Structure 1
Amino acid sequence: MSELKTISQLKAIAKERSLGKYGTLIGAAIILGFIRFLVISITSSFTAGSRSPIAIVLGWLIAIIVNTLLGVFVSGEAYMYMNLIYSQTVSISDIFFGFKQQPQKAVALQGIFEIIANVLTLPYFVLLYGLQAGIDFSTSIPFLILTLVSYLLLFYAKIVFSQIFFLLHDFPDWSVRQILTTGIHLMKGKKLKYLGLILSFIPMILLGCITLFIPLLWINVYMLATYAAFYQDIMSGAAAQKEEGENGLN
């Protein structure tokens, strides 16, 4: 049975593959950040300043739709880091590859996750609206607890679905359902390791925050490269297990 690499080994792979490519990767991150900021700023301006229930619901729906459409950029980013980890040519134009490679599936995958995320975080928006409406904060403690639980569930969902965009590029002919079910299956028994991988970056993120945030650009690249290395590792492990199973039948 193939042993998965340690967190230190995955980080070492990410560092090694990123050498000489940080300019491209950071440039792509800046462009993506600007696109997301611009799109979200424009769409949020339609309901800015209004606290009516209709405006709040409308703003919520607009945010879901916009974030869903931005799935093509999530797909492009995944493609770029797969190229990096698999030692392929990396360019800033990779972030737009999601428009070429099954954009409808990228939007569908992102849309499914957005629906799940917004259902899970609904208590937070209810609490926020209640506080804005002047509800006594002391009566909102149950909502605070529920909000904490919902965000923990959201974090868990992000881990469960963390591999879907990588799978989209490895298996572009698969249906959305196949990608989702395979992604969930891949993470069985590996969620704690992925959690450990995420938590291992917290000291670096905190350091980046207290040093004028500029190092966060490099840290973001480092994190995404490591997550792609994790995908490569679990796929190699899955392939090895399949081969062992087939050999065992002969």
Structure 2
Amino acid sequence: MAQIVLIILWSFLFVIPGILKGISYSQAFYLLKDHPEYTIFEALAESRRRMHGYKWRYFMLNLSFIGWGIVVSFTLGIGSLWLSPYLFTTQGVFYDKYIALEKGN
């Protein structure tokens, strides 16, 4: 029993860091839009730097859309025609409010 618990706990080491890095790199697209002179690696590094202190807020923002995702699954994906623009607009506003303005963009 303990072996199974330890295996499950160690397997989280691969999932959780992946989620954290995904959140850290989430603003790279917006940074490339604002700074076309950046290379992709510079944008990823800048995104990681600017997301410092905002990861939890961004995670909770995206977690708030879980209910809408469940509703979309009941509509066989048709509801994503309304949910996707809403989600992407919300993420863009997050960038404008926290990442672009407060970090001196």
Q: TM-score range by the shorter chain?
A: 0.7 to 0.9
Change (3 A) 1:213 1:171: same
**What RMSD in Å do the two structures reach over aligned CA positions?**
2.3
How many residues are aligned here? Answer: 102
Shift of 1:187: 0.4
Q: Distance in 2 between matches of 1:221 and 1:147?
A: 34
Q: Does the C-alpha gap of structure 1 residues 212 and 167 become closer, same or farther in structure 2, counting only changes over 3 Å?
A: same
Q: Segments of 4+ in structure 1 off by > 2 A? A: 140-149, 174-178, 210-213
Instruction: State which structure, 1 or 2, has the greater radius of gyration over its C-alpha atoms.
Output: 1
3-state SS in 2 of match to 1:237: coil
What residue in structure 1 maps to residue 29 of structure 2? 165
Provide structure 2 residue ranges, at least 5 long, that are not aligned to the other structure. none
1:204 equivalent in structure 2: 68
Deviations along 1:19-68, one digit per CA (max 9) or x if unpaired, are xxxxxxxxxxxxxxxxxxxxxxxxxxxxxxxxxxxxxxxxxxxxxxxxxx
Residue type of the alignment partner of 1:213: G
Structure with larger RCO (C-alpha < 8 A, sep 6+)? 1
Q: C-alpha separation between the residues in 2 aligned to 1:200 and 1:174?
A: 31
Residue 92 of structure 2 aligns to which amino acid in structure 1? A
- Render the CA deviation track for 1:74-128: whole Å, top value 9, x for unaligned: xxxxxxxxxxxxxxxxxxxxxxxxxxxxxxxxxxxxxxxxxxxxxxxxxxxxxxx
Residue 58 (structure 2) pairs with residue 194 (structure 1):
yes
Amino acid of the structure 1 residue aligned with 2:64: S
User: What is the deviation of 1:220?
Assistant: 1.9
CA distance in 2, matches of 1:180, 1:216: 28
Which residue of structure 1 lines up, in the alignment, with residue 18 of structure 2?
154
1:143 Cα shift?
A: 4.7
Instruction: Quote how far apart the aligned CAs of 1:231 are.
Output: 1.0
CA–CA separation in structure 2 for the residues paired with 1:146 and 1:217: 38
Identical-residue share of aligned pairs (%):
27
TM-score by length of 1: 0.37
